Structure 1
Amino acid sequence: MCVCVATFISVYAPTLEAEHNIKEDFYGALDAILQKTPASDRLILMGDFNARVGAEHLVWSKVIGQHGAGKMNHNGLRLLSLCAEHQLVITNTIFQMKNGYKTTWLHPHSKHWHLLDYVIIRQKDRQDVRTTVLCEELSAGLTTICHITKDNLQRLLDEKLNKIPEEPADWPALHQATYDAALEAFGQERKHHQGLVRL
C-alpha cells in the first residue's frame, strides 16, 4: 500500500515595512524548511504572507493561475521567486471566483481589498485542489465570529484526525476529515441581507 505523508507549514511573514534583515531571515528560514521537506510529502504551505503576488500569470505561469488579484509588490516578488524555486503553486489564483472569496485584507485608506493570505502546494499536486476560499474579516462582529470558528475548526480537526490510524497513512481519509471539519466549523454559504457571509 502506498504511504502518503502530508507536511503542513503555517507562517506569518514580515510586513512590507519590516526591515530588510528581518525579511531575509524569514525567507531564509522558510527556504531551509522547504529544502528539508521530503519531495514525496504532500506539502501544504499556508498563512499570512503580507505579500501581493499580482496577476501576471504569463510571467509566473506555473506559480500563479489566471485569477490573481491586484499588482505585485516587493514581498510578492520574494514569495513568487521562492515558489518558482521550489516548484510550488499559489492555489488562491487558480480558480475563477469573486474577489470577496479570495481577498482578505481591506486597506484602511484606499478601501480596496487585497490578497495577502495564501494556500500553496507543489505544482505536481495541483490537480488535487478543488477550490481555495478564505475567511474574510469584514467587520468587528464577524471578526469575532471568525476567531471563534477557527478555534472550533481546530477542535473538530483534532477530533477527526485522531480517529485516523497513523499507519498506514490514508490520504483520502485525511482529505475527508479536513473537509468535514471545515464544513462543520464554517457551514454552508448563507444569505445575509444583499450579500454573502462566509463563516
Structure 2
Amino acid sequence: MFQKGKLENIKKEMQRLQVNVLGLSEVRWMGAGSFTTDNFTLFYSGGNKHERGVGILLDKETSKSVKGFSAVSDRVILIKLHGKPFNVSIIQGYTPTADYDEDAVTNFYENIDKAYKQCKSDDIIYVMGDFNAKVGDKRIGNTVGPFGLGNKNDRGDNLVTWCQSHNLVITNTWYKNHPRRLWTWRSPRDRTRNQIDYIMVSHQFRNSIISSKAFPGANCGSDHVPVICESKVKLKRLNQSKKNFKLQILLLKEDTDIKQKYRIKVQNRFEALDETTKTEALWEQMKSSILASAVEVLPKIQMNKKKKWMTDDILLLMEQRRLKKSNPLEYKSIDKEIRIKCSEAKEKWLNEQCLDIENKLSVNTKYAHKRIDEITGKSRCTSSGCIKSKSGTILMEKHDILNRWSEGKPESRQQEFRNLNFDIADFPVEIQKFSKLYRNFDNVV
C-alpha cells in the first residue's frame, strides 16, 4: 500500500465488490493509528520502517460502530465493533514467510494470542489475513473443512493447532467451490497457485456465515486475491458527537468593528451573571457567554473539500488493467502506465500545494503549517486508539476506560492549563479580570 495510487485502487475494488470490512497485509505504513479518506477509515499498525504492516479498512457505515482498536505489532491488529446482540472482534494477521525462521513464527502467534485475549468470550470473533500456510483439502475435526486446496504443510499444522486451541473454524475450507474460488496466491508467471489466506470465525457463530470464497477477478496489483466472507451480523451505530465548527477568531484582532461588537456582547452577558454563584457554576456560565458571543459575531470558517491528486483517467486505467488479468503482456503494459501517471499526477499536486503554502506563509502562517502537516502525514492520527491500564493492559470496554480516566491526577491537568501559551492582553477586559480571579484558585481543577 506504500505504492502511489494503491489505496485509491483498493477503495475502488472494495466498492465494486460491496465489501464492508477489508483486512490488509503488507501495508508498509510506519507507526500505528487511524486515517480517514473519503468514505473509508483505515486502522493500521506498522513498525519503524516501510516494511510489513497490517490494517483494517472500513466503509463509512461500519466505521460508525467502532469501539476501539489495538495495534499489537507490525503483523497483528485488532478492532472491536458494537453489534447487536453480540459485539464483533476482528483480528488481522500477517504471518512471516518461509524466509523467516521459526522464532519469527512463534513471535507472531504470541502476538496474535495477545490480540485474542482482548476479545470477550461472547464476541463474534473473526481472525483473517495472510497466514502463509497450507491447511490442505482433508477435513480436520470442526476446524478445517473438506473443500480446501492442496496438501497441508508445517506452517499449516501451526495454524490448525492454533485454531483448534481457540475453537475457530476456517471458513473458506467449508464451501464447495470451483478451484479458482479456492486459491488465494499465485507465484510469478503463474506457475503455482496456493491457498494461504484465510478467514476464521468462532465455532459458536459458524452458522452466521453464508459463503466464503476467493475472488480472482479483483485486482489491486497484488499476487494475492481477496477472500470474501459473507456473514449475517448486525452492527450497532454509536452515538456520534456533533461536528465542531471553527470560527474566524483572527478577525477579533484584524477587524475593529467585529472586535467592538464582540466586546459589547460579552460585557452585556457578564453583567447579567450572578456573582454569588459558586465558582464552578460561574465558570460554566462565563464560558457559555464567551462562546455564544463569538458564535453571534464571528463567521464560520468554510471547510473546503480537499482536492485529491488521483484522476479519473488513472481510475479508468485501473479498471482496464483488471479486465486484462488473463493477458500478462497487456496487463504489465497498463500497470506500467498507471505507475507513471500516478507519479506525474502526485508530483503536479504537490507542486500546487507548495505554491499554495508559499502564498499563505506571509498571510496566515497557521494555515500554512497545517497544510504542511497534512501533506507530510503529521496530521494523521497516530495513537493506538486505546487506553491502557496501570499495568499496561489495553482497555477496550467503556466502563473500564471510564474507570481509568477517573484515576487521572487533577494536578496534571492543572499544569497543562498553566502551560498554555497565550497573551491575555489580546482578550476583552472582562475576560482578563476573570483570568486573574481564576488563577488565584490554585487548588481548583
Q: Distance in 2 between matches of 1:16 and 1:89?
A: 24
* Residue 107 of structure 2 corresponds to residue 25 of structure 1: yes
Q: Distance in 1 between matches of 2:147 and 2:129?
A: 19
The equivalences for 1:146-157 within 5 A come to none
Q: Distance in 2 between matches of 1:55 and 1:34?
A: 26
Please state how far the C-alpha of 1:146 moved relative to its aligned partner. 10
Match of 1:89, SS state, is: strand
* Residue 237 of structure 2 corresponds to residue 165 of structure 1: yes
Please state how far the C-alpha of 1:107 moved relative to its aligned partner. 3.0
Q: Which runs of 5+ in 2 are unaligned?
A: 1-83, 227-234, 240-322, 327-445
- 1:129-172, CA deviations, whole angstroms, 9 ceiling, x for partnerless residues? 0111233378xxx434999xx9xxxxxxxxxx8xx5227xxxxx
* Residue 143 of structure 2 corresponds to residue 63 of structure 1: yes
Aligned residues: 151
Q: Distance in 2 between matches of 1:41 and 1:129?
A: 15
Please state how far the C-alpha of 1:111 moved relative to its aligned partner. 1.7
Change (3 A) 1:74 1:145: closer
Match of 1:102 among 182, 203, 206: 182
Please state how far the C-alpha of 1:110 moved relative to its aligned partner. 7.7
Q: Distance in 1 between matches of 2:213 and 2:202?
A: 18
Match of 1:143, SS state, is: coil
Match of 2:127, SS state, is: strand
Change (3 A) 1:82 1:146: closer
The equivalences for 1:13-52 within 5 A come to 13-52=95-134
Q: Which residue of 1 aligns with 2:211?
A: 131
Choose 1 or 2 for highest CA Rg. 2
TM-score (normalised: structure 2): 0.31
Percent of counterpart pairs with the same letter?
A: 25
Q: Which residue of 2 aligns with 1:83?
A: 163
TM-score (normalised: structure 1): 0.67
Q: Distance in 1 between matches of 2:185 and 2:212?
A: 16
Q: Which residue of 2 aligns with 1:93?
A: 173
- Of structures 1 and 2, the one scoring higher in RCO (CA 8 A, sep 6+) is 1
Q: Which residue of 1 aligns with 2:220?
A: 143
- 1:42-85, CA deviations, whole angstroms, 9 ceiling, x for partnerless residues? 0111111111111221xx22101110110111111110000000
Q: Distance in 2 between matches of 1:110 and 1:71?
A: 19
Change (3 A) 1:33 1:107: same
Change (3 A) 1:145 1:21: closer
Q: Which runs of 4+ in 1 moved over 4 A?
A: none
Q: Is the 8 A contact 1:137 1:146 kept in 2?
A: no
Q: Distance in 1 between matches of 2:195 and 2:161?
A: 17
Structure 1 counterpart of 2:129, one-letter code: G
Structure 2 counterpart of 1:47, one-letter code: G
Match of 1:6 among 64, 88, 102: 88
Change (3 A) 1:82 1:128: same
Q: Is the 8 A contact 2:145 2:173 kept in 1?
A: yes
* Residue 126 of structure 2 corresponds to residue 54 of structure 1: no
Q: Is the 8 A contact 2:138 2:147 kept in 1?
A: no
Q: CA RMSD in A?
A: 3.0
Q: Is the 8 A contact 2:137 2:149 kept in 1?
A: yes
Match of 2:193 among 105, 113, 119: 113
Please state how far the C-alpha of 1:101 moved relative to its aligned partner. 1.2
Q: Which runs of 5+ in 1 are unaligned?
A: 151-160, 168-191
Match of 2:126, SS state, is: strand
